[in-house]
Amino acid sequence: MKPPPLRNDCFAMPPGVDWTPVDDALAALRSGLATVVGVTDCPVSEAGGRILAEEVAARRAHPPFANSAVDGYGFAHASIPADGVVNLPLAEGRAAAGDPHSGRVPASHAIRILTGARIPEGVDTIVLEEDTTTDGTRISFRTGIRAGANTRPAGEDVGKGARMLGRGRRLRPQDLALLAACGVDAVPVFERLRVAVMSTGDEIAEVGSESGAPGAIFDANRPMLCDLLRRWGFRVVDLGHVPDDRDRIRETLDAGATGADAIFSSGGASAGDEDHVSAILEGEGALSTWRVAIKPGRPLAMALWRDVPVFGLPGNPVAAFVCALIFARPALGVLAGGKWEEPAAYEVPAGFTKRKKPGRREYLRARIDSSGRAVPFGSEGSGRISGLSWSEGLVELEDGALDLAEGDPVRFLPYSGFGI
Ligand code: AMP
Ligand code: MG
């Protein structure tokens, strides 16, 4: 018997197999998915991270009335000379935020006015306190001030009825400020997407459990994936850990399809003897994408199980993480009512050299060094979870062949751009 030639690259494509390029797999996902969750009303104070189900318009203008941008003195611009020094008697009273001046300020008079105060009738311009002198009955300042200076006209920021935020927007803290300022106290949002998470593998044990010693591998994927999902604003349905047993995997997928809108599994997604997840999904679950040309993460099974999307992630934690970021995140965003979100990417100089063959996209765990260059983790070994923890983002290497020199531009995808 003649053994097959040794392959020094364990991710090389088997001859004759067509691998789906990452972009094709993403395009298929993007075109095949739609929102699966209902709509509910949510108070604005609790709406951070939720996804708007409808466009929201301003109930009132912002600011709702003309007010002062500074502490100073208000007057009618038409009543001051074009040059020289201005000298105006002070009118009775003052205007403060929440304590408006009710009367009209007579022409050629000034009134004390504080930041945020409604601008009284007879006033259209405000001079900064620091630019004036006063004896308590008059103020004086150098002219040259522009008409309307230091005022905030009503609606200068947002007009009443203006469209503010669109359907599909994931609300951020600053959006809540905008909504509240414009009188919106509750918004229609999509129900939180429920994502079920299960780990598979006979060798896998829950960390801390007695069964963990000594031959077991602690389940690193479930804590990681559950936290990812929570950070993305989803509700986690923890399905626990399942041994490599088809009936148990089938039952657990059923439980996921009943109690969740999408399922994450990890492990058993390849084509080996114990790769039951991919086997079940292929046999019974409308497996759509499997051989995606990506490293790390080659065994990635994307399928439907009882009409519920399943992301059959690789067991290797590094690969599971990368596939979750690249494929599951934008897909889950669409299921949850959001937009398909591309990760933020920056072109930075490479702080390393790299040669790669054509045929698959590669992601390196990386950081940006103090001179702004991307540096990868010391080992590309996909079992190295320490590098995952060390890294602050991914360097994305294109599908084609590459002979990268130091200083060449590379794409860096910071984890912050993935919402983590
Ligand atoms: P598999 O995809 O099931 O062939 O697993 C690939 C590698 O990842 C194996 O070395 C597994 O032991 C490991 N692995 C699978 N699931 C997990 C998990 N939940 N946590 C940590 N390692 C895992
Ligand atoms: Mg396994």
pLDDT at position 16 is 53
* Per-residue pLDDT reduced to its tens digit, 349-390: 999 999 999 999 999 999 999 999 999 998 888 889 999 999
Q: Is 315 in the pocket of ligand 1 (CB under 6 A)?
A: yes
pLDDT at position 383 is 84
Q: How many CB atoms lie within 10 A of CB 407?
A: 10
Q: Which residues pair with 68 in a beta bridge?
A: 151
From CA 76, how far away is CA 106, in angstroms rounded? 9
pLDDT at position 213 is 66
From CA 372, how far away is CA 358, in angstroms rounded? 27
Q: How many CB atoms lie within 10 A of CB 371?
A: 9
pLDDT at position 366 is 98
Q: Is 221 in the pocket of ligand 1 (CB under 6 A)?
A: yes
Cα distances (Å, whole numbers) of residue 348 to 222, 269, 395, 396: 33, 34, 10, 11
pLDDT at position 9 is 44
Cα distances (Å, whole numbers) of residue 253 to 47, 109, 197, 287, 381: 31, 78, 10, 14, 30
Decide if 219 contacts 225 (C-beta within 8 A): no
pLDDT at position 295 is 93
pLDDT at position 11 is 38
Kindly give the distance from the C-alpha atom of residue 212 to the centroid of ligand 1, in angstroms, as a whole number: 14
Q: Which residues contact 231 (CB under 8 A, 6 or more apart)?
A: 419, 420
Q: Are strands 67-68 and 354-356 parallel, antiparallel or unpaired?
A: unpaired
pLDDT at position 3 is 57
Q: Is 343 in the pocket of ligand 1 (CB under 6 A)?
A: no
Q: What is the pTM of this model?
A: 0.90
Q: Is 267 in the pocket of ligand 1 (CB under 6 A)?
A: yes
Give the residues of the chain that fall short of pLDDT 70: 1-17, 211-213, 289
Q: Is 297 in the pocket of ligand 1 (CB under 6 A)?
A: no
AA identity, residue 24:
D
Decide if 198 contacts 255 (C-beta within 8 A): no
Kindly list the protein residues that place their beta carbon closer than 5 angstroms to ligand 2, a single-atom ion: 201, 267-268, 315
Q: Which residues contact 314 (CB under 8 A, 6 or more apart)?
A: 266, 267, 269, 270, 296, 297, 298, 299, 300, 320, 323
Phi-psi map region of 297: left, alpha, beta (phi>0 left; psi -120 to 50 alpha): left
